[in-house]
Amino acid sequence: MIVNTAAYHFVPVADADALAATLLERAQAYELRGTILVADEGINLFLAGGRDGIDAFYAGLKADARFSDMRVKYSYSHMQPFARLKAKVKPEIISFRRDDGQPLDYPRAPSVAPATLQRWLRQGHDDAGRRVVMLDTRNEQEFEHGTFAGALTLPIARFTDLPAALEPHRAELADATVVSFCTGGIRCEKAALWMRNDGMDNVLQLEGGILGYFEEAGGEGYDGRCFVFDERVALDPQLQPLVDTGVPA
């Protein structure tokens, strides 16, 4: 089986070019494929390969104190979902282009654990009795494959479109506990931070995103699959891929 991983971590990186080169070399040595993104604000990884190579790569990465507590999310497939391995240095590990939504500049926005969210969705409100609104921070291509039941989805093509698309809905969200979510947590982390800095103090982020929710709570309250940016296309709540035959060219 191929081990598929997704991981990100916001932490100051003063040596982005050198780190990207080092991680690329290590991933090549372990015969991994996927994408390595490095920026001054941290790293974002989507890597797949054999169990021994994956374990060795992340053991080496976590030996660096900057990434020792980075969470890695795992899923499995018969096929290798990436055609090649690449490493890039970018201004942001997920582009948002909002000064008030940068995790290194502000305290982290409060989060909700998957098990707690599952309970809230089951009971119809949070522990204070407020209604819960799930806010999907992904784009239209992604949420067409699935999203939380009753979630607020926005007509956006890219993450940077989120602030303008959310504006018409802000008043209607004022009396709710808003839970920002995305695939693995990186976008909803920036989105929740920006919203709180922009006056929406009723916003939380879903810890670990949809994939973390699937790992810890299954698919309760979620309709469909979670889109992923590789040849598997989407994962169901058991983290099984929609496409799992053949090897991409």
Q: Is 188 among the residues known to form the active site?
A: no
Both tokens of 190, joined, read 């920036």
Strands (E), the chain: 2-10, 33-39, 42-49, 72-77, 85-89, 111-112, 132-136, 146-148, 177-181, 203-206, 222-224, 226-227, 234-235
Alpha-carbon distance of 63 to 67, in angstroms, equals 7
Distance between CA atoms of residues 131 and 129, nearest Å: 7
- Render the burial of 39-71: b for 16+ CB within 10 Å, e for the rest: bbbbbbbbbbbeeebbebbbeebbeeebbeebe
Q: Given the residues 117, 182, 203, 206, select the one marked as catalytic.
A: 182
Query: Any idea which residues carry the catalytic annotation?
Result: 182
